[in-house]
């Protein structure tokens, strides 16, 4: 009976350790993804916004939106209408 209890405790400990290691692997993969974010240039963001709307770019700003970076681009569409376009800043 004592051997069975000891084996059962060892199994629970090993299961807990393996779950911890798996969670650590997921966290390190997420951290690497965050580090690998390369920002595009503001002119590239302007080009993407212009291609999307067909208008003339008036202003480009880099902003944080939550945990990610985005470009807020203001585009003049037609003669009077300003359209705000959000472009992801990471490649």
Number of helices (H), then strands (E), belonging to the chain: the values are 2, 3
Domain regions of the chain by residue span:
1-36, 42-88
Banded model confidence at residue 84, pLDDT cuts 50, 70, 90: very high
Q: What is the mean pLDDT of residues 73-89?
A: 96
Name the more confident of 64 and 28: 64
- pLDDT surpassing 80 at residue 22: no
Phi and psi at 85, nearest 5°, equal -120, 135
Whether this prediction's pTM lies above 0.85 is answered by no
d(CA 51, CA 30): 32
Q: Residue 72 in contact with residue 86, Cβ under 8 Å?
A: yes
Helix, coil or strand: residue 5: helix
Banded model confidence at residue 51, pLDDT cuts 50, 70, 90: very high
- pLDDT surpassing 80 at residue 34: no
State residue 5's pLDDT score: 73
Name the more confident of 33 and 40: 40
């Amino acid at each position: 009976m004592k051997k069975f209890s000891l084996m059962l405790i060892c199994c629970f400990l090993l299961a807990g350790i393996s779950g911890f290691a798996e969670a650590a692997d997921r966290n390190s993969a997420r951290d690497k993804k965050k580090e690998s974010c390369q920002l595009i240039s503001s002119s590239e963001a302007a080009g993407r916004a212009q291609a999307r709307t067909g208008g003339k770019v008036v202003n480009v700003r880099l902003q944080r939106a939550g945990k990610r970076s985005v470009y807020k681009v203001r585009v003049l569409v037609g003669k009077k209408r300003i359209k705000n376009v959000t472009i992801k800043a990471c490649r």
